[in-house]
Chains A and B, each alone.
Chain A
Amino acid sequence: MYNFEFKQPKTISEALNALKSDEAEALAGGQTLIPTMKQRLASPATLVSLSKISEMRGICKNDDGSISIGGGTTHADVAANSNIFPGLVTLAENIGDPAVRNRGTIGGSLANNDPAACYPAAALSAGATIVTDSREISADDFFQGMFETALEESEIILSVRFPVPSLSSYQKFVQPASRFAMVGVFLSKFENETRVAITGASEEGVFRWKEAERALNEDFSEGSITDFVLEPSGMIGDIHASKEYRAHLVKVMTKRAVKSAS
């Protein structure tokens, strides 16, 4: 790993100042960035750790019923919080392993937008709002392809605001070596609409399966999507699973999500 200058601000404004320096990068939990730096795939000149910024951690319920999760909140803290809805608890408590969950954060996961990460599926499915230091971005606009987001250089995620669905489920088919999602399906059922977001499957990163959403809006049952055939082109094909297998898994995991939604 190349060396860098390490900064550990205690407030958001100090962090934003530190991020102005040349080739500065934010460090959240580091569970992806540190391995990436070891491989010299990232080599920031300055690394600005966000982990000591207490105002970026924690979970609260808003007046409108939505919940806000600080960008620096760890997966373990999300999994253990009683305000969190069922699908999101399942998701948070199954990321990586216990040690990873104690360090990795929701803000880091969303900002990285790994095509097989879990959190992007939850944010997109629930229609979350990503709150940064300068603006609010809806999840529908935030994810822009594999490892690409709407974030500007040195913009950081302060919190994520989730509307609370009446029913939700996260169904992850685990790639056993990495514990990332081979395919992960997050389903959120609201009073007026059902949203289905898929991670792990597409070369474009997380996406909404709108055909399934339309069918589930009319008839919220496994049967309503049984006859769908998902096109394998555009799916990820690698040594773990072919495009065809991932396309098939998307449907299987979506049906499981419908069945298990609570």
Chain B
Amino acid sequence: MSNVTMTVNGKTVSGSVEGRTLLVEFIRNDLHLTGTHVGCDTSQCGACAVHVDGKLAKACTMFALEANGSEVSTIEGQANEDGSLNVIQQAFKDHHGLQCGFCTPGMVMAAADLLKTNSKPTELEIREHLEGNICRCTGYHNIVKAILAASGQDVSNIAAE
């Protein structure tokens, strides 16, 4: 076992992990932050997406020890300080951007990553940025709409489908 220390959602945390412990396992099993999901566990679906040192990463395809000393943010760190939903989360709620909700944490983390560098993405740019996130309900249309709305763009002419 090795010691690992990192900052998760602004708090310094540490634990004792095996070499093979995945970052997502550390986040879920040791830190009990179960908002980060394991969908496929084969790097395909993006339900485990988190930010590591400000960059989008699949927490199922990274060892916890690789994040030693890093700053990690998860879905639990996304809400506003008063606990209300942030702009992206609220837009997902308003535009029905989730059905079963399983992929939603990864979708929100991917959307936050996109909007950090591209404040007014086109529909195509959003779809390309979500290439590594799979929604098994196939609810992509409203996910894309929610992200357009979160970036302040007018979505009133986009039909609900």
Per-residue contact bits, chain B 6-26, to A (CB 8 Å; 1 contact, 0 not)? 000000000000111010000
Residues of A within 8 A of B113 (CB): 98
Chain A residue at minimal CB-CB distance from B114: A98
Binds A, one of B49-57, B85-93, B97-105, B143-151: B49-57
Residues of A within 8 A of B56 (CB): 98-99, 102
Per-residue contact bits, chain A 96-136, to B (CB 8 Å; 1 contact, 0 not)? 11111011000000000000000000000000000000000
Q: How many residues of chain A get a CB closer than 8 Å to chain B's CBs?
A: 26
Rounded to whole Å, the gap between the CB of B4 and the closest CB of chain A is 10
The answer to whether B2 and A97 have CB atoms under 8 Å apart is no
Chain B residue at minimal CB-CB distance from A34: B61
Rounded to whole Å, the gap between the CB of A193 and the closest CB of chain B is 34
Residues of B within 8 A of A49 (CB): 63, 65-66
Determine if B156 is an interface residue (Cβ-Cβ < 8 Å).
no
The answer to whether A30 and B61 have CB atoms under 8 Å apart is yes
The answer to whether A34 and B62 have CB atoms under 8 Å apart is yes
The answer to whether B129 and A98 have CB atoms under 8 Å apart is yes
Q: In the bound complex, what is the Cα–Cα distance between A99 and B133 (angstroms)?
A: 9
Q: Looking at the complex, which one of B19, B110, B133 makes contact with A3 (CB distance below 8 Å)?
A: B19
The answer to whether B46 and A99 have CB atoms under 8 Å apart is yes
Residues of A within 8 A of B52 (CB): 102
Chain A residue at minimal CB-CB distance from B64: A6
Residues of B within 8 A of A76 (CB): 55
Determine if B37 is an interface residue (Cβ-Cβ < 8 Å).
no
Chain A residue at minimal CB-CB distance from B129: A98
Determine if B42 is an interface residue (Cβ-Cβ < 8 Å).
yes
The answer to whether B61 and A4 have CB atoms under 8 Å apart is no
Q: In the bound complex, what is the Cα–Cα distance between A108 and B77 (angstroms)?
A: 32
Determine if A8 is an interface residue (Cβ-Cβ < 8 Å).
yes
The A-contacting residues of B in range 103-124, CB under 8 angstroms, are 110, 113-114
The answer to whether B19 and A47 have CB atoms under 8 Å apart is yes
Rounded to whole Å, the gap between the CB of A76 and the closest CB of chain B is 7
* Of listed B49, B56, B113, residue having the most chain A CB within 10 A: B56
Rounded to whole Å, the gap between the CB of B22 and the closest CB of chain A is 8
Residues of B within 8 A of A100 (CB): 43, 58, 61, 132
The A-contacting residues of B in range 38-90, CB under 8 angstroms, are 41-43, 46, 49, 52, 55-58, 61-63, 65-66, 68
Q: In the bound complex, what is the Cα–Cα distance between A79 and B110 (angstroms)?
A: 18
The answer to whether B49 and A3 have CB atoms under 8 Å apart is no
Residues of A within 8 A of B133 (CB): 97
Rounded to whole Å, the gap between the CB of A55 and the closest CB of chain B is 18
Rounded to whole Å, the gap between the CB of A30 and the closest CB of chain B is 6
Residues of B within 8 A of A102 (CB): 52, 55-57
The answer to whether B65 and A98 have CB atoms under 8 Å apart is no
Determine if A224 is an interface residue (Cβ-Cβ < 8 Å).
no
The answer to whether A179 and B131 have CB atoms under 8 Å apart is yes
Q: In the bound complex, what is the Cα–Cα distance between A102 and B53 (angstroms)?
A: 11
The answer to whether B131 and A30 have CB atoms under 8 Å apart is no
Determine if A1 is an interface residue (Cβ-Cβ < 8 Å).
yes
Chain A residue at minimal CB-CB distance from B56: A99
Q: Looking at the complex, which one of A1, A4, A96, A103 makes contact with B62 (CB distance below 8 Å)?
A: A103
Residues of B within 8 A of A210 (CB): none
Residues A98 and B110 in contact in the complex (CB < 8 Å), given A35-B42, A38-B41: yes
Chain A residue at minimal CB-CB distance from B2: A6
Rounded to whole Å, the gap between the CB of B138 and the closest CB of chain A is 15
Q: In the bound complex, what is the Cα–Cα distance between A99 and B68 (angstroms)?
A: 19
Residues A98 and B41 in contact in the complex (CB < 8 Å), given A3-B20, A49-B66, A51-B66: no
Rounded to whole Å, the gap between the CB of B124 and the closest CB of chain A is 14
Q: List residues of A whose CB falls within 8 A of some B CB.
A: 1-6, 8, 27, 30-31, 34-35, 37-38, 47, 49, 51, 76, 96-100, 102-103, 179
* Sample (13) of A-B pairs whose CB atoms are under 8 Å apart: A3-B18, A3-B20, A6-B2, A30-B61, A34-B43, A34-B61, A49-B63, A97-B46, A97-B133, A98-B131, A99-B56, A100-B61, A179-B131
